[in-house]
A and B are shown apart, each in its own frame.
Chain A
Amino acid sequence: MSALATAPSLVTAGPSIAPAATTVGNPAINIGIFALFVVVTLAIVIRASRNNRSAAEYYAGGRAFTGRQNGIAIAGDYLSAASFLGIAGAIAINGYDGFLYSIGFLVAWLVALLLVAELLRNVGKYTMADVLSFRLRQRPVRIAAAISTLVVSFFYLLAQMAGAGGLVALLLGIEGAVGQRLVIVVVGILMIFYVIFGGMKGTTWVQIIKAVLLIIGAAIMTVWVLGKFGLNLSTLLGDATTASQDAGGKDLLQPGLQYKNPVDFISLSMALVLGTAGLPHVLMRFYTVPTSREARRSVVWAIWLIGIFYLFTLVLGFGAADLVGAKEIKNAPGGVNSAAPLLAFELGGEILLGIISAVAFATILAVVAGLTITASASLSHDIYNTVVKKGAATPEEEVKVARIAALVLGAIAIVGGIFALGQNIAFLVALAFAVAASANLPTILYSLFWKRFNTRGALWSIYGGLVSAITLIVFSPVVSGKAIDKVTGKSPSMLQGVDFHWFPLDNPGIISIPLGFLLGYIGTVTSREYNAAKYAEMEVRSLTGHGAETATHH
């Protein structure tokens, strides 16, 4: 509702704040299409919310989604603004190096498919912590897992909110103005509404609709771009490279445009490929299906959709490099993230731009909702129920606390998003992946596959991975000390004008991921704790599905 209410003021505020030249397309069309999406999804969310009393309904959509539905929702969750806007932009500017991102994001799904999805579905109930704490001491492990869930989700949230701000900057021509913040507030409020009323079921449907729109939109643009180059990929690549070189840029097909430092790129690659299977909002999606077989089917669907989508972004990125040009993209209000919307405008004018922008907004909204429900579930189910109430909270109480948590988290996300405006979103997401790979994945794998694993190992691995990843990020060039970019006149670092970095790499993965595994190992072998009965229960349950949570019937 609020989107409709604020729309007119944004339209009139746009041109008066920034010169009309920076506005692309017709803001009324953009907002109109987006408002339509909001109205349709809100109706669905309200329908879905009828049955949201029980915890299984609220957190896991009653575990009643099919593998295919969940697979599409996973794609909707995963193909965030970072994938669509960030990767297309990275390819447009840095060519081949941008493409490398998408490969890591895709291959990562094999870790989830082969090692995690099914076993986790059988063992857990609502959250990642359910699995990690299954055979260990509940309180400390749940607290650790919940903290790590919150941190990863928060980084990811920031990325999405920053994307929303950047996008509106482009569409309404408002730079750093009240309007951008207003949009973040609107996105935040809508998201809170989806989560509080829709629960997991509503959120899942929003993600399904969004995934379908996004993939169709990207498919249309891909065919369109290829059509312009005689359906010949080689011609497209050649023209894009020539265009880049004519404008004083480099050969987009050569590796190394974005990653000057080989170690930095290896570090990023490790975080990308090992991070996905440790993302709490991805893991939580596996609980929305009735069986481990359906969980497998979900991942298979997700891999196909995500893979095909990344192939589209390859074409879109090079298409934008040629048809829009690197300089125009960099100078647009949304920066690198505006490559895909600018390409849409170049191809299909105002209408296509409106559709693609609305889809991008919808993307942000859906992903942010998924993150919020994950974080609020962890706060309520792991912290409130297990730690505060010692497991005695009724499902109704838990759901109530989860809703309050969603409200608070939504507010924090709004404030954080305002501060994160202008950050490269693919990059923020890469940091979330680094933390997930360092703090979560070692514990998940040990816990599923290593008999000897125990509480000390879990705590050392989670806290060690988390603290090392974050410390290295804080003292990396991402936060301070990068040289000033000649085109934009700003330092690409998060903070301007200060330099306290001593860690040379942008991504901490190469240090913090092995450290997470190592600490988990050392912690385990120095403690004698071992719960044979719980381990037997967990292993039998993980492989056979005996005793696993079943779908609720209504």
Chain B
Amino acid sequence: MSKEAPERVVDDPNVAMQDSPEFDQLRSKFRRFVFPLTALFLAWYFLYVLLSVFAKDFMGTRVIGNVTWGLILGLLQFVSTFTITMVYARWADRVFDPEAEALARKMGGEQ
């Protein structure tokens, strides 16, 4: 309840923060990291899906024993998912969080 809908003055600190160069930098840093990564994993996932439906012969070809290209690429989807998870978490913990927290402290008060 406490923070649900407080009255806002026109020139409130949030707008000032949003317009500040530091915040602008934080936002673009976040987006520059997260958006390309999202595009990358989605492209790689849909490439895999498209191969599975349009290149069935290739995906069904046995490579190592009975392990097919389809299974190998599928397992690589697992590998890439785990990798992106670790890379992002590391970046967010080390690079993003300290900067975000610094700005939050600057906003102060309200905790």
- Give the B-binding residues of A (Cβ under 8 A): 96, 99-100, 103-104, 106-107, 109-111, 113-115, 118, 125, 232-235, 237-238, 241, 251, 253-256, 259, 262, 265-266, 269, 273, 293, 296-297, 299-300, 303-304, 307, 310-311, 391, 395, 449, 532-537, 539-541, 543-547, 549-550
Contacts and interface: CB of A to CB of B under 8 A. Distances in A.
20 contacts: A96-B59, A96-B74, A99-B71, A114-B37, A237-B67, A251-B60, A255-B60, A266-B49, A300-B86, A303-B82, A532-B15, A537-B14, A539-B18, A540-B14, A541-B14, A543-B23, A543-B27, A544-B23, A546-B104, A549-B3
A233 B74 contact: no
A540 B17 contact: yes
B10 A533 contact: yes
Dominant secondary structure at the B interface:
helix
A171 B65 CA distance: 37
Interface string B77-88: 110011011101
- Which 5 interchain pairs have the tightest Cβ spacing? A234-B65, A262-B53, A536-B14, A237-B66, A238-B66
Given A262-B53, A544-B103, A546-B110, A310 B78 contact: yes
Given A237-B71, A391-B5, A546-B17, 17 more contacts: A107-B41, A110-B37, A110-B38, A254-B60, A265-B52, A266-B53, A269-B45, A303-B82, A307-B82, A533-B12, A540-B14, A543-B26, A544-B17, A544-B23, A544-B103, A547-B3, A550-B111
Nearest to A262: B53
Contact of B89 (A96, A100, A300, A549): A300
A307 B78 contact: yes
Interface residues of B, number: 61
A114 B34 contact: yes
A395 B46 CA distance: 45
Interface of B: 1, 3-5, 8, 10, 12, 14-15, 17-18, 23, 26-27, 30-31, 34, 37-38, 41-42, 45-46, 48-50, 52-54, 56, 59-60, 62, 64-68, 70-71, 74-75, 77-78, 81-82, 84-86, 88-89, 92-93, 97, 100-101, 103-104, 107, 110-111
Contact of B71 (A253, A256, A547, A550): A253
Dominant secondary structure at the A interface:
helix
Nearest to A537: B14
B92 A99 contact: no
Contact of A311 (B53, B78, B92, B97): B78
B83 to A, nearest CB: 10
Contact of B66 (A111, A241, A544): A241
A266 B38 contact: no
A113 B34 CA distance: 10
Given A115-B34, A303-B85, A540-B23, A107 B52 contact: no
